[in-house]
Structure 1
Amino acid sequence: MKRNMFLSAILAGFLLVSCNKELGYTGFVDPDAGKNAEISLSTDKAAYAPGETVTFTASQMPAGAIYIRYRHLGENLGEQAATGTSWTWTAPDEDFTGYLVEVYQKSSEGETILATIGVDVSSDWTRFPRYGFLSSFGEMPQSGIEGVIDNLNRHHINGVQFQDWHYKHHWPLGGTRENPLASYLDIASRTTYLSTLQAYIDKIHSCGMKAIFYNLCFGALDDAAQDGVNERWYIFQDNNHAQKDVHALSAPFKSSIYLLDPGNSEWQQYIGERNDDVYAVLDFDGYQIDQLGSRGTRYNYDGQTVDLPGGYASFIRAMKSLHPQKRLVMNAVSGYGAEQIVGTGQVDFCYNEMWGSEEQFSDLRSTIEANDTYSNGTLKTVFAAYMNYDLADNMGTFNTPGVLLTNAVIFALGGAHLELGEHMLCKEYFPNSNLGMSSELQEAMIAYYDFLVAYENLLRDGGELNDVTVRSTDGKLSFAAWAPTLGNVVTLGRKVGERQVIHLLNFSQANSLSWRDLNGTMPEPQSVESATVEIDTQEPVDRVWMASPDINGGAVRELAFEKTASGIAVTLPSIKYWDMLVLEQD
């Protein structure tokens, strides 16, 4: 999280502005008000257990015969006539499966897709984590709390990180378990209300999400001694314990943050007891553990060099031992300590905060592949990857092309992106809401998250990445195999069972190979229609279909194809940011 945490520039640009915002402000428009949202769909939960009842709600249903279809990948599972704006569906018995629900109408010219929504049937969020956040816990009406979580629910966010909610890093609960404070000041001197925390947790649980509290693994404020933190537990910049390691902060922050040895067993026991206080008062599901990246050479009180990555692993094991039923996630800042963190086998998924040293699109794949190695392919990757970072030094709007291209690449690689909360994330200080979202971006994000859920079994459920050769036969597009290059549609293949998946990622008009789009200058790609291509394959092909979050809400589209000497030839209906082709054999 906070390698560059709480910079004064952020404070100047954000805190004075944010305090005037309406509590509960989400930064999102009413989905029913979107210019293309003649029908908007929602579900009552972000994810469902097998066999659970799914309740759908439509903003409206047009007159005439309207139909509802349930799909798993390219397979039609059944359909029914719509009889109103609310209906239920019993989730199939197969666990860890994504579905797309289509609302459509028929005419003499064929079908018209009116609306779509994804449904995730998964009994455990760690199989397909979709992480969101909360960062402001002032006094709020219930309607404001429900509005924020309903929006996250519409994006199928199944876990929510509570950022900077705590009283003190070394004493996270305000007050004691016997007498918790009704309100208190957080690290940035903002007021946090216990009632708001409780109401958020209750609403999150009602939507089938996990509520995860955030804290450093080794932070203490300047009054920690009076709260029982021992001088011998700290880490120091010298081997004579003269100068504590510190993350220096100035007003309005109420203290700098002094760093302890995460591997010190007495500190582990102390903070574990403080976490026990938290769990006794607030029904959190787990602990999002943070660090500050590489600190250089540091020493313990006795002058011995501290192994921070090893200490992180020890800390994780201690937290799991103290609260075995609670979930754990830990940040690997720029990959620091990732192997040790993941190697514990005690974290729910891999969480990587990405910075300038890993700003290339190719670094996203490298990070996922490293995590796959560390976890033997058992854990998914979530990126904390802050978009339009420099643009966010001032008030403004997210650059839609930059956000969508980055999400297309992350999702195609099998990752997820921590980015949605009360607002969209642009800085490592999560309350920073300098950048808003256009209506276009808001509508697109819903489509992208529906796509992430509906096709999760092709995107992030095993399989092997491979190279597939795609060639243009009409000159409308230029193709190149991964890694991304400017001026090309980049291909990324994944073999999933008998299916060959081919992601087409459009870098044709891109101006940078950095996912960060620091200043919001990534241009919008032109949509290219009816482009003919050849795909090399030695496998038999009996069916070709495509789907895209940019087209018809990700609905399946069957493609006619011809066999060639080296494979097949098909015509792409259109491509903007991202198309997914699927080649199947009977």
Structure 2
Amino acid sequence: MKYIIYAITTLFFLASCSKDNDETGGGSGGGGEIGGVTDVTPVTSDLTVSLVTDKACYKPGETVSFTADALPAGAKIRYRTQNKVVSEQAAVGTSWTWTAPATDFIGYLADVYRTKDDGTEVILGTIAVDVSSDWIRFPRYGFVATFDASKTESKIQEEMAFLNRCHINGVQFQDWHNKHHWPLGGMREQLDAVYKDIANRDIYTQSVKDYIRIQHTYGMKSMFYNLCFGALDDAANDGVKEEWYIFKGAGHTDKDAHTLPDSWKSNIYLLDPSNTEWQAYIAQRNDDVYANLDFDGYQIDQLGNRGDRYDYKGNKVNLPKSYTSFIDAMKQRHPEKRLVMNAVSSYGASQIAGTGKVDFLYNEVWGDEADFTDLYTILKANHQYGNQTLKTVFAAYMNYEKSSGDFNMPGVLLTDAVMFALGGSHLELGGDHMLCSEYFPNTRLRMSDALQTAIVRYYDFMTAYQNLLRDGGEEEKVTLNCTDASKNLSLNVWPPKKSSITAFAKRVNGRQVVHLLNFLSANSLSWRDLDGSMPEPRLVTKVPLKLEVVGKVSKVWVATPDAHAGASQELAFEQKDGAITFTLPSLKYWTMIVIE
């Protein structure tokens, strides 16, 4: 509730920014050979075309339906995976279809462009397409948290259309339930039309149903939230036994509890997740939920490290081990339903992953994991815990100490850039607001129009290039130099440094991928941007770079969510004496360089 890093080989990155005329790098590949590409198509952008698709993800061979607000004469539509064109067509009308290719778990970018008389390509608009039969490979998680009378069918459709535009393929339903120990509003045989949540807010059963139904039309998973061990103060009346609770001491006199405001229904009292009678009880309550609401699974929550806690008999409770037992029991009771469990401040992460029964790993990060380097560490650990297969979603609350106004766009985008470049994703987007605290209904901060536009670009980018960002690979040694001292740039290896450009490099399916992250103007190295003061980074353009490489290079291309709406741009380069030289077009927050 409140409250990982890749199994990566050690990165060794030598970066400098010295004047380099005739010197060449010392790499072993291509020694003495001079070659390269100098004739590439110039790319500019005039982002005037808005695009949508009818789903957030598609099965191989499924029909993808596109709609554009307008298409100028002479426009063409191109479909690319990474930098490879898989098909192209002339633009005719504002609606069209495309058949998703047969290969599963691939990201594509559809771009609308035109060609000027001088041969320059002008990107008019782009949108990503995820061809994945299951969200497990590339989870993009969103949330909904308000289900009152204002959530009409048309309002819900509007909200889910935005999440669909961001390719959100799973939605967590927060604070939707009646009681933690009795989540359904009403009885299995007779639902309440309206009931109260833990904060005594109105919850309309029809709104919950409409959210689920509309999400399913977009191909999204709908996951209900609940603790693994929560009960309210009236739980005995509903059949919860004293012997199931956990206690602060061995004498079973002081129940462990999560304290809530007096105006709310109750404090939340904690039970032993490994108690088999409690497991059977809550599994039956979940069965009541599934019988009435078409949820796809259970987002399991916990409360982090509670310290020493005891069961009714005075035995010390091993909470991380109990999570394993609880997950196993939930999967056995409903094997067809999906499970995700929160690892609050990484507590219990290895045990959760070790069950082999969760769809991905979910880390709620707090002040004890506040730095960008902590995100790296978490991803690395999760990669090991999940046997190199489970992806990571961060529940990370931006601008946590800012009391009102807009989210700070530079803080949000820099954090997303780092998370996405490292291979993670970010739970942040709700149907009607962005997440600013662990209380998901909190709407004290707003997304500006500029941030909404940028967020769409970032989620397009994460989706289109998911096979380079989130589909394995090994971190590797690279040597990169800026060859123009007049640029006054400092480059460094990961971890990031203030007043510097930080590089993070991986080799993915034979390609060398170098992420450049812009910390030139950063006032801290914390992803949280607590007070919303992270400044906008200094834009750098036309940066001459030299990168040591092994073997002959056939292509160099770049892409960034900050320019050309994420469309890739092939670069001219020269290869000589084990290195390539090329000019980086631009870096705002994040630019990805790919060497093939």
Q: TM-score, normalised by structure 2?
A: 0.91
The one-letter code of the counterpart of 2:472 is G
The one-letter code of the counterpart of 2:382 is N
The one-letter code of the counterpart of 1:188 is A
Task: Provide the C-alpha distance between the structure 2 equivalents of 1:420 and 1:216, rounded to a whole number of angstroms.
Answer: 21
Residue 447 (structure 1) aligns with? 457
Does 2:104 correspond to 1:95? yes
Deviation at 1:478, TM superposition (A): 1.7
1:75 corresponds, among 80, 84, 106, to 84
What is the CA deviation profile of residues 431-480 of structure 1, one whole-angstrom value per residue up to 9, with x for unaligned ones?
01111111111111000000001000000001112232211111322210
Residue 17 (structure 2) aligns with? none
> What percent identity do the matched residue pairs reach?
60
Query: SS of the counterpart of 2:55?
Result: coil
Task: Provide the C-alpha distance between the structure 2 equivalents of 1:315 and 1:234, rounded to a whole number of angstroms.
Answer: 14
Contact 2:2 2:364 in 1 (8 A): no
The one-letter code of the counterpart of 2:62 is E
2:541 corresponds, among 529, 537, 540, to 529
What is the CA deviation profile of residues 547-567 of structure 1, one whole-angstrom value per residue up to 9, with x for unaligned ones?
000011110101011123341
1:557 corresponds, among 541, 562, 569, to 569
1:146 corresponds, among 157, 176, 179, to 157
Contact 1:468 1:481 in 2 (8 A): no
What is the CA deviation profile of residues 95-149 of structure 1, one whole-angstrom value per residue up to 9, with x for unaligned ones?
0000000001111132100000000000000100000000000122211000110
Contact 2:560 2:566 in 1 (8 A): yes
1:280-429 residue pairs with structure 2 within 5 A?
A: 280-391=291-402, 394-421=403-430, 422-429=432-439
Does 2:186 correspond to 1:195? no
Task: Provide the C-alpha distance between the structure 1 equivalents of 2:535 and 2:554, rounded to a whole number of angstroms.
Answer: 37
Task: Provide the C-alpha distance between the structure 1 equivalents of 2:457 and 2:302, rounded to a whole number of angstroms.
Answer: 33
Query: SS of the counterpart of 1:94?
Result: coil
Contact 1:467 1:481 in 2 (8 A): no
Residue 122 (structure 2) aligns with? 112
Task: Provide the C-alpha distance between the structure 1 equivalents of 2:552 and 2:75, rounded to a whole number of angstroms.
Answer: 37
Does 2:501 correspond to 1:489? yes
Q: CA RMSD in A?
A: 0.9
Contact 2:304 2:347 in 1 (8 A): yes
Contact 1:384 1:418 in 2 (8 A): yes
Task: Provide the C-alpha distance between the structure 1 equivalents of 2:264 and 2:553, rounded to a whole number of angstroms.
Answer: 62
Residue 522 (structure 2) aligns with? 510
Task: Provide the C-alpha distance between the structure 2 equivalents of 1:566 and 1:509, rounded to a whole number of angstroms.
Answer: 33
Task: Provide the C-alpha distance between the structure 2 equivalents of 1:286 and 1:541, rounded to a whole number of angstroms.
Answer: 46
Does 2:172 correspond to 1:155? no
The one-letter code of the counterpart of 2:113 is Y
Deviation at 1:37, TM superposition (A): 5.7
Deviation at 1:60, TM superposition (A): 1.3
Q: Which fold has the larger relative contact order, with Cα–Cα distance below 8 Å and residues 6 or more apart in sequence?
A: 2
1:434 corresponds, among 417, 421, 444, to 444
Query: SS of the counterpart of 1:376?
Result: coil
Task: Provide the C-alpha distance between the structure 1 equivalents of 2:500 and 2:550, rounded to a whole number of angstroms.
Answer: 24
Residue 30 (structure 2) aligns with? none
Residue 274 (structure 2) aligns with? 263
The one-letter code of the counterpart of 1:279 is Y
Q: Give unmatched runs, 5+ long, in structure 1.
A: 4-35
Task: Provide the C-alpha distance between the structure 2 equivalents of 1:377 and 1:544, rounded to a whole number of angstroms.
Answer: 28
Task: Provide the C-alpha distance between the structure 2 equivalents of 1:282 and 1:469, rounded to a whole number of angstroms.
Answer: 55
Query: SS of the counterpart of 1:222?
Result: coil
Task: Provide the C-alpha distance between the structure 2 equivalents of 1:78 and 1:407, rounded to a whole number of angstroms.
Answer: 30
Query: SS of the counterpart of 1:77?
Result: strand
Q: Which runs of 4+ in 1 moved over 2 A?
A: none
What is the CA deviation profile of residues 152-181 of structure 1, one whole-angstrom value per residue up to 9, with x for unaligned ones?
000000000000100000000011110011
Query: SS of the counterpart of 2:506?
Result: strand
Contact 1:468 1:491 in 2 (8 A): no
Task: Provide the C-alpha distance between the structure 2 equivalents of 1:234 and 1:439, rounded to a whole number of angstroms.
Answer: 47
Task: Provide the C-alpha distance between the structure 1 equivalents of 2:549 and 2:588, rounded to a whole number of angstroms.
Answer: 24
Q: Give unmatched runs, 5+ long, in structure 2.
A: 4-45
Q: TM-score, normalised by structure 1?
A: 0.93
Residue 36 (structure 2) aligns with? none
Does 2:101 correspond to 1:128? no
